[in-house]
Amino acid sequence: MAPVNLGKQHPAAYKSVLALNKEVEESVAQAGLDPKLAELVKIRVSQLNGCAFCLRMHTRDALDKGESTDRLAVLAAWWESQYFTGQERAALALAEEVTHLAEPGRHEWDNGSLSDEQVSAISWLAIVMNAWNRIAVRSHYSVAP
């Protein structure tokens, strides 16, 4: 089966995901989360989903926001490094839980460093990033040097 650009085939659905993305970005900001943390979550979710298009885009966005190359280099193994704060570690673990749909009640990420509003904002961020990854991968978005 040939690749199908989902956004071109169903532009109204694509626009709905864009609108959801805008709402989620506003929720992340209202929850007081650092924009660099939001990019780390987007990158980690994209790593888990194997979305090259989103990885390239959000790595560039993270660098533009002042993220370090050292932290980006170890993001795939964030739990083994000392580069990330307690809040960042909690957010990354939560995003992984949302992406993997881990069994309810596990909450290994819950170290008390995220408010209920922040937990909700990060969960929505991971949900919308999972949607974008699936759109990009299924549409075979080009990733060329």
* pLDDT, tens digit, 9 for 90 and up, residues 51-70: 999 999 999 999 999 999 99
pLDDT higher at 140 or 23: 23
Judge whether 57 and 132 are in contact, CB under 8 Å. Answer: no
Sign of the CA dihedral with 80 first, then 48, 63, and 18 last: negative
pLDDT of res. 103: 60
pTM of the prediction? Answer: 0.84
Confidence of residue 106 (pLDDT cuts 50, 70, 90): low
Most confidently modeled of 2-16, 79-93, 99-113?
Answer: 79-93
> Can you say how many angstroms the Cα of residue 9 is from the centroid of all Cα atoms in its chain?
25
